[in-house]
């Protein structure tokens, strides 16, 4: 063998050694495997302990589920009056009991002002009115007399003209002289002048009469204004209500426009309520005039009042993304034991300026499925449904097991439903358009949800019915009227 073939031989020798080692390792591994298989001990089968977990559950039912919207606002009166002085005068009397917080009726006297100047002015204008009336009467009498004198003078003028005509005819026949003509002509012209003067005096009476009538109308108007000012010296309440304040007292000099009192009607108050804009565009769940509203005081007290939506503002606020609905609340008042007024019912007075929160219950509602909010985990609930039989049982009957089921929540609401659950008040309303929702009659697990695993055997205690969970559902189907996506602000 030459030196050139030696490296080739060494390479093949090295490859053979490595292949032998690999085969040896594989044979050793197979030997160890079969040795362990030969030595293994068969385990004894253990019985599976699958005792059911007791849980609380409800059977789904379709119920009326109105949309409830939250809002807030401050109370203001529907009717109020700022009473001001309408004349310049001094206060001479303030009736006893006219104080802030006292109820008053429309027409009740609040203040009395000095009337002396106004009475004198009424007397002066009344006298002037009487004088002008007398002057007009005198003109009427004078007109009648002048009319009679003008008529008599016209008769004399006619006679004189006839005499002049006869004398001229006589002169033509030579039976009268020029002196006779001049004498008769003078008499006729004198009668003509008297008639013209009387006619002019009669015609002058008409402008004088119109002047006096105009002056009389002005005086009558001034007298009526003076009488009105005289009546304004007694300041009265314009409406029924409660005095908020009385800011004038005896001896004070008032000028026109000076505010002296404020009267507030507490029997009807209004709350401009801020609600989400979506509350007006929620389809069947939208707020409408006439919807019931529950108001609550902002504080530790549990006072509530009921009202209704009176009207809705057309514009929304872009800054707060809210709309305004106006809620009217009617209150019955009675006199308090220590004076003032109090509400006739158990609730205290809802006072203007008070801040309140509110819940608007929409009047349009439909039958829909609801579940407690605590039963919804993400987008699913746990149902108790018949599943695989117990492997340790004697028979092959299926047993109840926890089964996850997808849901889609339309909106939430707060309401006591003792017919469904004795204590739950927070509910999730399921969207009727979601076809994957559970069906009426399905049993929804509402307790021990943090312990339950999918497929785990459960023993539900159905609080709103004791029928078998596997029985056919008998509850009414929910309404499937299309509804919009839930908007912010619903509760």
CB atoms inside a 10 Å sphere around CB 405: 16
Q: Which CATH architecture has domain 54-63+367-462?
A: Beta Barrel (2.40)
Each domain of the chain, given as residue ranges in start order, spans 54-63+367-462, 68-77+266-361, 86-114+233-263, 117-226
CA distances from 85 to 103, 106, 252 (A): 20, 16, 12
Buried b (16+ CB within 10 A) or exposed e, 88-109: ebebeebeeebeeeebbeeebe
Mean pLDDT of all residues belonging to the chain: 84
**Higher pLDDT among residues 333 and 87, named by residue:** 87
What is the per-residue pLDDT for 483?
36
What is the per-residue pLDDT for 480?
36
**Higher pLDDT among residues 72 and 35, named by residue:** 72
DSSP assigned state of 263:
E
For residues 243 and 101, the answer to whether their CB atoms sit within 8 Å is yes
Same fold, 54-63+367-462 and 86-114+233-263: no
Angle made by CA atoms 287, 291, 294, in degrees to the nearest 5: 105
**Rounded-to-integer distance, Cα 355 and Cα 72, Å:** 7
- Partners of 490 in beta bridges: 69
Place of tokens 């001094």: 90
For residues 345 and 413, the answer to whether their CB atoms sit within 8 Å is no
> pLDDT, tens digit, for every residue of 192-217?
888 888 888 888 888 998 999 999 99
- Partners of 429 in beta bridges: 370, 411
Give the helix/strand (H/E) hosting 270: strand 268-276
As a whole number, mean pLDDT of residues 109-123 equals: 95
Whether the predicted pLDDT of 5 surpasses 70? no
Q: Three-state DSSP class for 142?
A: helix
Q: Domain 68-77+266-361's class? A: mainly beta
Q: How far apart are the first and last CA of the chain?
A: 101
**Helical packing angle, 178-231 and 116-172, nearest 10°:** 170
Give the helix/strand (H/E) hosting 6: helix 6-39
As a whole number, mean pLDDT of residues 6-26 equals: 80
For residues 476 and 439, the answer to whether their CB atoms sit within 8 Å is no
pLDDT class of 396 with cuts at 50, 70, 90:
low
> pLDDT, tens digit, for every residue of 283-330?
667 889 999 999 998 766 678 899 999 999 999 988 888 999 999 999
What is the per-residue pLDDT for 368?
86
CB atoms inside a 10 Å sphere around CB 196: 13
Whether the predicted pLDDT of 422 surpasses 80? yes
Dihedral (CA of 206, 209, 215, 216) sign: negative
Written as one string, the DSSP assignment of 218-256 is HHHHHHHHHHHHHHTTEEE-SSSEEEEEE---TT-EE-T
CA distances from 404 to 135, 195, 453, 456, 485 (A): 107, 124, 9, 11, 24
CATH topology of domain 86-114+233-263: OB fold (Dihydrolipoamide Acetyltransferase, E2P) (2.40.50)
Q: Where are the beta strands (DSSP E) in 348-457?
A: 355-361, 367-372, 380-389, 398-406, 409-414, 426-430, 443-445
pLDDT class of 240 with cuts at 50, 70, 90:
very high
Lowest-confidence range among 78-92, 219-233, 238-252, 377-391?
377-391
pLDDT class of 234 with cuts at 50, 70, 90:
very high
As a whole number, mean pLDDT of residues 29-48 equals: 71
- Rg of the chain (C-alpha set): 54
């Amino acid at each position: 063998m030459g030196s050139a073939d030696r490296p080739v031989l060494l390479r093949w020798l090295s490859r053979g050694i490595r292949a032998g080692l690999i085969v040896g390792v594989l044979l050793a591994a197979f030997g160890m495997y079969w040795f362990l298989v030969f030595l293994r001990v068969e385990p004894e089968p253990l019985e599976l302990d699958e005792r059911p977990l007791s849980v609380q559950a409800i059977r789904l039912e379709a119920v009326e589920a109105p949309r409830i919207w939250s809002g807030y606002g401050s109370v203001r009166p529907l009717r109020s009056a700022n009473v001001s002085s309408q004349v310049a005068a001094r206060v001479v009397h303030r009736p006893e009991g006219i104080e802030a917080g006292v109820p008053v009726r429309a027409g009740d006297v609040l203040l009395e002002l000095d009337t002396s100047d106004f009475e004198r002015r009424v007397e002066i204008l009344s006298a002037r009115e009487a004088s002008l009336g007398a002057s007009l009467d005198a003109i009427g009498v004078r007109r009648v007399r002048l009319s009679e004198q003008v008529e008599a003078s016209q008769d004399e003028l006619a006679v004189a003209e006839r005499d002049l005509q006869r004398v001229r005819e006589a002169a033509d026949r030579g039976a009268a002289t020029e002196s006779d003509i001049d004498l008769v002509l003078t008499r006729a012209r004198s009668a003509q002048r008297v008639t013209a003067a009387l006619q002019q005096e009669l015609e002058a009476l008409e402008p004088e009469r119109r002047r006096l009538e105009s002056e009389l109308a002005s005086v009558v108007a001034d007298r009526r204004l003076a009488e009105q000012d005289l009546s304004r010296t007694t300041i009265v309440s314009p409406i029924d209500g409660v005095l908020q304040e009385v800011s004038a007292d005896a001896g004070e000099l008032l000028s026109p426009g000076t505010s002296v009192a404020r009267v507030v009607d507490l029997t009807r108050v209004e709350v401009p309520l801020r609600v989400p804009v979506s509350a007006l565009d929620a389809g069947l769940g939208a707020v409408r005039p006439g919807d019931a509203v529950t108001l609550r005081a902002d504080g530790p007290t549990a006072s509530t009042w009921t009202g209704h939506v009176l009207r809705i503002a057309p514009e929304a606020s872009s800054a707060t993304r809210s709309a305004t609905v106006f809620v009217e609340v009617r209150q019955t008042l009675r006199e308090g034991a220590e004076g003032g007024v109090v509400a006739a019912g158990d609730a205290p007075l809802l006072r203007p300026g008070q801040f309140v929160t509110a819940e608007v219950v929409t009047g349009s509602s439909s039958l829909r499925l609801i579940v407690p909010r605590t039963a919804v985990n993400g987008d699913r609930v746990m149902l108790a449904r018949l599943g695989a039989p117990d492997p340790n049982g004697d028979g092959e009957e299926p047993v109840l097991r926890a089964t996850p089921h997808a849901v889609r929540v339309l909106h939430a609401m707060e309401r006591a439903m003792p017919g469904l659950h004795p204590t739950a008040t927070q509910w999730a309303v399921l969207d009727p358009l979601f076809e994957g929702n559970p069906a009426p009659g399905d049993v929804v697990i509402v307790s021990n949800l943090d312990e339950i695993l999918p497929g785990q055997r459960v023993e539900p205690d159905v609080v709103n019915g004791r029928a078998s969970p596997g029985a056919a559902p008998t509850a009414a189907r929910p309404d499937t009227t299309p509804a919009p996506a839930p908007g912010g602000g619903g509760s």
